[in-house]
Amino acid sequence: MSNRRVFILGGANTDFLGKGNPNFIWKNHPDFGKRENPTLEEQLKAAVDLCFAETGIDPTLIQRGYVGNFVGELFSKQGHLGAALAGSHPALAMKPMTRTEGACASGGLAMLCGMDAIKAGSDVVLVAGVEVQSNESARVGADYLARAAHYARQRSIDDFTFPALFGRRTKAYRAAFGVTEEDIGRAAVKAYGNANKNPLAHMRARKMDLDTAAASSEKNPTFLQNAEYAPFIKMSDCSQVSDGGSALILVSEEGLRKLGKSMYDCIAIVGTGHATASLYEDSDPTVLSTTAHAVGEAYKAAGIAAKDVRIAEVHDCFTVTELMMYEAMGLAAPGHGGDLLREGATDIGGKVPVNTGGGLVGFGHPVGATGVKQAVEIWRQMKGKCGAYQVASTPGIGVSVNMGGDDRTTVVGVYRNVG
């Protein structure tokens, strides 16, 4: 394995749009009928433009690019997104650009491909992620997203296949460890509370209190038809159906020299993990075993342990997943993820702040963008760019965990703040 070092020079996220975001054009918006929400190509271009503006680099120096996307063909009738990335800025024409797909870990896979390119000799690489989902109803979208499960076997669990699969996990997890609805509801309260401080978060204008998050009500209904799992997933337990894009620049040490930048402008990626489990089988619903495997690999590569982590971005596709992620990362013992939320340990002011911008529940989940957004967020926190949700002391070591499907593909990154 090449020992070339890989750095994140910087990146940016678009406004994550969808129902609940004040900028989203929807029935009651004053611009309804006058203008439309950005398309897939507009979201991708916006993310790339924002990334170039943030880093101030000369785009002609980009040598290759990767874009994570799950189902552009279904939501936007558009595939071939490597060519879409090449078309998102005139300076990218004719450069090698490739799309990566691994369900909700598509963005994480784009990161890994970008790193491999640097390790193999490239010096400046663009990594992007994008998804647009709001042009279909949540019910139709759920059928598209169900392609991240084993469709032939799991689609029939419910029209909302993924909420039902995580209803299954919630039921099993609560029964195994005696975890309450309130324990899990705290993940939603934290997610919305952090999103309220983040000007790009899908749910920045929506409030969530523990009374609402901890029990179903007219305001926060359950919605599955599957009678066994329906009681275990409410609206507030779900990540959002968001549109959005994220992009960042990876560089080698030589790339830094070419761009006239210093290592201290960057964060280093010091370890990664990538694990994939069979699509055709289910595993123990109370544990994220594929994720735990990828975390172990990444910690080993970085030479760190759970106690060293100072900030994290985890894949809270549903509230219960956040608790299970803490456990897969070794931050909490099995069944004790909820303790961290109760103690405030993962709050912005806590010992290990997690999902400071709101995570998938609060910031939103434009599927293909999420894995890239997580890395952008770690970089932003380490460089003091998070404004109202900035953590007080600069984190030295950060971890991102991006999960595809029902814990089938996981990509983990470990980052070290160089400056």
Binding status of residue 9 toward ligand CAA by CB under 6 A = no
A 10 A CB-CB count for 72 gives 23
Nearer to ligand CAA, 364 or 398 (CB): 364
Q: Contact with ligand CAA (CB under 6 A): which of 46, 57, 86, 104?
A: 104
Beta-strand runs (E) in 30-149: 64-68, 97-100, 124-131
In whole angstroms, the minimum distance from the beta carbon of 162 to ligand CAA comes to 4
Phi, psi of 286 (to 5 degrees): -90, -5
* C-alpha distance across the termini of the chain, in Å: 26
Record the tokens describing residue 90, joined without a space.
């005139």
Nearer to ligand CAA, 221 or 303 (CB): 221
Record the tokens describing residue 365, joined without a space.
């989940």
Q: Contact with ligand CAA (CB under 6 A): which of 114, 244, 255, 404?
A: 404
Q: What is the DSSP letter of 105?
A: T
Query: How many residues lie near ligand CAA (CB under 6 A)?
Result: 23
Task: Give the integer Cα–Cα distance in Å for 311 and 356.
Answer: 9
Q: Contact with ligand CAA (CB under 6 A): which of 75, 160, 192, 299?
A: 160
Residue 339 near residue 180 (C-beta atoms within 8 A): no
> Which is it for strands 244-251 and 267-276: parallel, antiparallel or unpaired?
unpaired
Amino acid at position 138, single letter: A
Q: Which of residues 185-244 bind ligand CAA (CB under 6 A)?
A: 221, 223, 235, 238-241
Binding status of residue 19 toward ligand CAA by CB under 6 A = yes
Binding status of residue 162 toward ligand CAA by CB under 6 A = yes
Query: 348 in helix, strand or coil?
Result: coil
In whole angstroms, the minimum distance from the beta carbon of 183 to ligand CAA comes to 20
Q: Which of residues 300-359 bind ligand CAA (CB under 6 A)?
A: 317
Nearer to ligand CAA, 176 or 235 (CB): 235
Record the tokens describing residue 351, joined without a space.
């010992």
Number of alpha helices (DSSP H) and beta strands (DSSP E) in the chain: 15, 9
Nearer to ligand CAA, 184 or 382 (CB): 184
Residue 397's nearest CA partner among 339, 351, 334 is 351
Query: 404 in helix, strand or coil?
Result: strand
In whole angstroms, the minimum distance from the beta carbon of 409 to ligand CAA comes to 8
In whole angstroms, the minimum distance from the beta carbon of 305 to ligand CAA comes to 27
Cβ neighbourhood burial of 22 (10 Å; 0-12, 13-18, 19+):
exposed
In whole angstroms, the minimum distance from the beta carbon of 203 to ligand CAA comes to 10
Nearer to ligand CAA, 81 or 250 (CB): 81
In whole angstroms, the minimum distance from the beta carbon of 102 to ligand CAA comes to 8
Q: Contact with ligand CAA (CB under 6 A): which of 11, 59, 68, 163?
A: 163
Q: Which of residues 114-143 bind ligand CAA (CB under 6 A)?
A: 137-139, 142
For ligand CAA, the binding residues (CB under 6 A) are 19, 103-104, 137-139, 142, 145, 148, 160, 162-163, 221, 223, 235, 238-241, 317, 365, 404-405
